Amino acid sequence: MSSAVKSTEQLQAEIKKLRRQVRETEDKSQRAEAALKATEQRYRLLGDSAPFGIFVIDTAGRITGFNRKMAEMLQWPVQQELPSINITELQKFIEAGITDDFRRCIENKRLVIKAYPCVTAGDSDDDCLHLRFSLCPVLDDDGSVTEVLTFVEDISDLKLAEMTIRESEDRYRLLFQSTPIALIERDASRLKAYLEELRQSGIHDFSAYLQENPQEAIHCVGMIRTVDFNEAFMELVEAKDRDELTQGLMPVHPSEVNRFAREVILMIAEGNLSQEREETFLTLKGNKKSVLAKSLIVTGHEDTFARIVISLVDISKRKQAEEALRASENNFREQAMRDILTGLYNRRYLYRSLEELIEIGKTTRSQLSLIFMDLDYFKHVVDAHGHLNGSQAIREVAATIRESIEEPAYAVAYAGDEFVVVLPGHDKDQAMAKALNIQSRINNSVYLRGQGLAVKLQASFGVATFPDHATDLTGLLASADRALFGVKANGKSAIGWADMLV
């Protein structure tokens, strides 16, 4: 009896234990199910919020799940029964080659990544999407493929941007090569980076740095790489072909290489590339050309200076015309100060120059002498041989005077047979010596030989010195003239100094 009761109690205890285990199992199952639902919810949320399409394909090609982005991308109806979508039957997938790549993924059990340039969405055949698929095989424990997880990116905008950039680059290259203006494209990114390193090391005054380190100029310029140049540039530098062109235009004087290099480096360092500048270069044939240069950073490369286009406008003819005009103007001004008959300076030049020399003499306390002279009995020559021969004789006497002096001294055809010689820095003794020299040359010369004549001439001289006789232009000329008048009044053919005759 007691053993039977004991057996019943044991049975009831075991039943209670089993019930407790069942409840615990149910609780664990509920918690697992809740966790599974939460996980599914998180994956669904993650999948729906992903910026790319996701869908799962079983080995038969049936789509067993896809996210919201995938539905939007290919216009798949969300309420459609998933097994009804089979990529082996989707015409757009077959035409694009996606179906073949799906089969290859399963057969090789390897990831397949491929871009498809035209996948149509929905029922429309008009709009093409450029899609990139990543087909990832999912393997079970024995290595068999159970399904294929697929990620899809819409790269249509990216490809459109790449095509736009490519077209823009093609247009740029076409314009670059076809423009009649000489263009050269250079990459200064290495130099820009190097200058930034120097700046970070504490160097901020690059002008002083290059002055202290002249070898750096050539080193830095060597970092600039020529990327391209057009036909107009080759014509400018007189290159026969692109292989011949190993360098750009070189400065006319080798001494200017460092100057030019410093200018370029400072422009890069300061980011001031837009300024126009005139440069004179030698072409490959050694011809000198002047250009107006202007640099421009290609948009998108402002930070790196990787693309800089330099335009070079040939202004050689304009510069030559300007130089010819300047020379003509200088010649005109020079001629305006010259006597037509003798080629000596005229009175206009005398008054302007003598006044300046006197002012300089006052400042520097230097002396200045003046010789006033005219030919003796010159009227007899004109009466005997005519006015034309008289003019020729004056021209030949002017040549004798010119040969007797050296700069800064100069001679002036004052009037008729009268001449003035200006002697900067000459004192009384030096002026007297020069007057004697001129007198001797005239006395020992024979004139009008070219006309078949032999004419001997003599001259009278009056000498005055600043500041001994006068301190202004009028007074100095008057003093020399009075000295000359005194000589003429006392027999001529002599040199007068103040009231003294020589």
Residue 328 domain flag: no
For residues 87 and 63, give the distance between their C-alpha atoms in angstroms, rounded to a whole number.
7
Pairwise pLDDT comparison (75 vs 460), residue with the higher score = 460
Q: Which of 298, 320, 342 is the last residue of a domain?
A: 320
Same domain, 380 and 484: yes
Average pLDDT over residues 443-460: 95
Average pLDDT over residues 87-110: 91
For residues 326 and 95, give the distance between their C-alpha atoms in angstroms, rounded to a whole number.
77
Q: Which of 125, 154, 183 is the last residue of a domain?
A: 154
For residues 502 and 494, give the distance between their C-alpha atoms in angstroms, rounded to a whole number.
6
Q: Are the C-beta atoms of residues 463 and 495 closer than 8 Å to each other?
A: yes
Question: Of the given ranges (16-20, 299-303, 373-377, 439-443), which has the lowest mean pLDDT?
Answer: 16-20
Largest CA distance in the chain: 191
pLDDT over 60 at 262, yes or no: yes
Q: And the tokens for 180?
A: 């009649």
For residues 309 and 181, give the distance between their C-alpha atoms in angstroms, rounded to a whole number.
12
Nearest Cα neighbor of 71 from 119, 115, 122 is 122
Same domain, 307 and 244: yes
Same domain, 150 and 170: no
SS3 201: coil
Helices (H), 337-386: 347-364, 378-385
Residue 32 domain flag: no
Q: What is the pLDDT of residue 253?
A: 62
Residue 11 domain flag: no
Per-residue confidence band for 110, with pLDDT thresholds at 50, 70 and 90: very high
For residues 70 and 218, give the distance between their C-alpha atoms in angstroms, rounded to a whole number.
59
Residue 24 domain flag: no
For residues 158 and 151, give the distance between their C-alpha atoms in angstroms, rounded to a whole number.
17
Q: What is the pLDDT of residue 450?
A: 93
Average pLDDT over residues 43-53: 63
Residue 362 domain flag: yes
pLDDT, tens digit, 9 for 90 and up, residues 163-222: 776 777 777 777 788 888 889 899 999 999 999 999 999 998 999 999 899 888 888 988
pLDDT over 90 at 49, yes or no: no
Same domain, 142 and 241: no
Same domain, 235 and 384: no
Per-residue confidence band for 502, with pLDDT thresholds at 50, 70 and 90: very low
For residues 441 and 337, give the distance between their C-alpha atoms in angstroms, rounded to a whole number.
26
Number of domains in the chain: 3
For residue 137, the cross-strand partners are 148
% pLDDT > 70, the chain: 89
Residue 12 domain flag: no
Phi and psi angles of residue 371, each rounded to the nearest 5 degrees, phi first: -115, 120
pLDDT, tens digit, 9 for 90 and up, residues 123-135: 666 678 889 999 9
Per-residue confidence band for 122, with pLDDT thresholds at 50, 70 and 90: low
pLDDT over 90 at 380, yes or no: yes
List the domain range (segments joined by +) for residue 117. 49-154
pLDDT over 70 at 82, yes or no: no
pLDDT over 50 at 501, yes or no: no
Per-residue confidence band for 1, with pLDDT thresholds at 50, 70 and 90: very low
Same domain, 171 and 288: yes
Which residue is associated with the tokens 């399904």? 147
Indicate which CATH number applies to the domain containing 72. Answer: 3.30.450.20
Q: And the tokens for 112?
A: 């397949």
Q: And the tokens for 35?
A: 């966790």
Same domain, 149 and 169: no
Same domain, 393 and 250: no
Same domain, 149 and 170: no
Same domain, 260 and 375: no
Q: What is the pLDDT of residue 126?
A: 62
Q: What is the pLDDT of residue 387?
A: 93
Indicate which CATH number applies to the domain containing 488. Answer: 3.30.70.270
Left (φ > 0), alpha (ψ -120 to 50) or beta: where does 238 sit? left
Same domain, 338 and 487: yes
Contacts for 306 with CB less than 8 Å, ≥ 6 apart: 187, 188, 189
Q: What is the pLDDT of residue 247?
A: 55
Pairwise pLDDT comparison (37 vs 148), residue with the higher score = 148
For residues 54 and 229, give the distance between their C-alpha atoms in angstroms, rounded to a whole number.
49
Same domain, 339 and 238: no
Residue 3 domain flag: no
Residue 491 domain flag: yes
